[in-house]
Amino acid sequence: MTLRAALPPRRRRLALLAACALLPAAARAEPAPAPGPPPRVVTVVPRPTDRLATERIVLRTICGDIVIALYPDVAPQTVRQIILLAGSGVYDTTHFFHVDPSGYYLQLADARNRILPLTFIQQSLIHPLRAEWGPLRHVRGALSLAREPGRPDTALTSFLILRKDAPFLDKPGDTYTIFGRVEQGMDVVEALSAGRHSADGTPEVRLTVLQALVAGPQQLPALGLRGPQSPDWWLYNAQVAPVTAANERLDWIAAGGFLSSLVLAVAAFFLARRLPGSRGACSLCLLVVSLCGYMLLVLLTPASWTHAWIGVGLLALTLAVIRLLAFFDS
């Protein structure tokens, strides 16, 4: 039973919040543009089996559904992370941004470039993944994590779907993590790749992933999987709005808490200012105000792209808090 399937949306978000709190070390790393220490590579000892996980990832794209099976023994950490990301809605409204002109693969964009801004929780789930190199090869249907060239531990959320065998990607000592394969929907992959694209492989039509679901084998038939089709714009429009609402719900709850604390701290500040010798108390109130303001910035900025009034409010709030800080220690 998956997280997404087992819990109602609100409780699922709370569970993810708890999961997020348990992942501090994982969230710490950062893809590094500057030279750093040599990358740590975990080479998984080849096992005789490429057993598949019970969960499947279903990518509902504008051209149909793709069912992905995962290899938990070969790439355990990657598989756990992909299930977590898909279950928490990180892949919703991402897109395939690159169709290899030579026809080898179709590449999913980094989730940070999706239509809907990532929520606070979703952002906190993304972290660099260590390379997990196993016995699997880059063959048609394989899923391979994208990363920065020459830096195996920099994969985040982007991956490739191989359209034909690509042995040149199986470079000894510098290959890519293969974590799954397309179980159903290679024809959808081909439909996505068949559209017009520029010489460098950028599709002319946005190849959007409307939603990514985690499903057990018994749940698959109930999903009513769609075969290859031309881009379905009606579905595209119908899917984006509900996803927005679901993703933002938990951020709204947390933001409400911080906003209440901020209002209380401002009120306490103005009350304390009337009392003699309350310099320390006033300053403490202002610190609480500024920390709450910062957290509101963190939580609500992503929503400002879809609700302009939030952006206006956040800007006004930030300037007001900065103005209030002139009363600190005085």
Partner 1 sequence: MQAAAQTPPAPRAATSAYFVNPAVDFALAGGLSIIVFLLVVVFRRPQRTDAIILAAAQLSWVVNWPHFSATNFRLYRSWENIRQYPLTALFIPWVILAVVAAALWSPQVLAPYFIKLFLIWSPYHFCAQTIGVTLIYLRRSGVQVRPWERRVLVSMVYSTLFTLLVRSEVKPETLEYYGIHYMSFGLPAWFLPVAGVLTVATSAGLVACFVLWCRRAGRLLPVVLLVPAAAQYLWFAGGWLWPSFIEFVPFFHSLQYLLIAWSLQLKEQRDRHDITPSRRFVLVESTRWYVLNIAGGALLFFFLPQWLSKGMRLPLPFTTGVFIAGVQIHHFFVDGVIWKLKRTTVSSPLMGNLHELLHPPAAPAPARGSS
Q: Residue numbers of the site for partner 1 (CB under 8 A)?
A: 24, 27-28, 30, 32-34, 36-37, 112, 117, 120, 123-124, 126-127, 279-280, 283, 287, 294, 297-298, 301-302, 304-305, 308, 310-312, 314-315, 318-319, 322, 325-330
User: CB 160 → partner 1: shortest distance, Å?
Assistant: 22
User: CB 118 → partner 1: shortest distance, Å?
Assistant: 9
User: CB 29 → partner 1: shortest distance, Å?
Assistant: 8
Closer to partner 1 by Cβ: residue 106 or 155:
155
Inter-CA distances, 125 with 85, 130, 203, 233, Å? 7, 15, 28, 30
Closer to partner 1 by Cβ: residue 44 or 115:
115
Determine the straight-line distance between the first and last CA of the chain, rounded to whole angstroms: 57
Closer to partner 1 by Cβ: residue 28 or 274:
28
Closer to partner 1 by Cβ: residue 188 or 303:
303
Which residue do the tokens 């690159």 mark?
98
Closer to partner 1 by Cβ: residue 240 or 325:
325
Number of H helices, E strands in the chain: 9, 10
Q: Helix (H, G, I), strand (E, B), or coil: what is residue 317? A: helix
Q: Helix (H, G, I), strand (E, B), or coil: what is residue 144? A: strand
User: CB 39 → partner 1: shortest distance, Å?
Assistant: 12
User: CB 329 → partner 1: shortest distance, Å?
Assistant: 4
Rg (CA), the chain: 23
C-alpha–C-alpha distance, residues 330 and 115, integer Å: 46
Inter-CA distances, 326 with 25, 67, 175, 302, 319, Å? 36, 57, 55, 28, 11
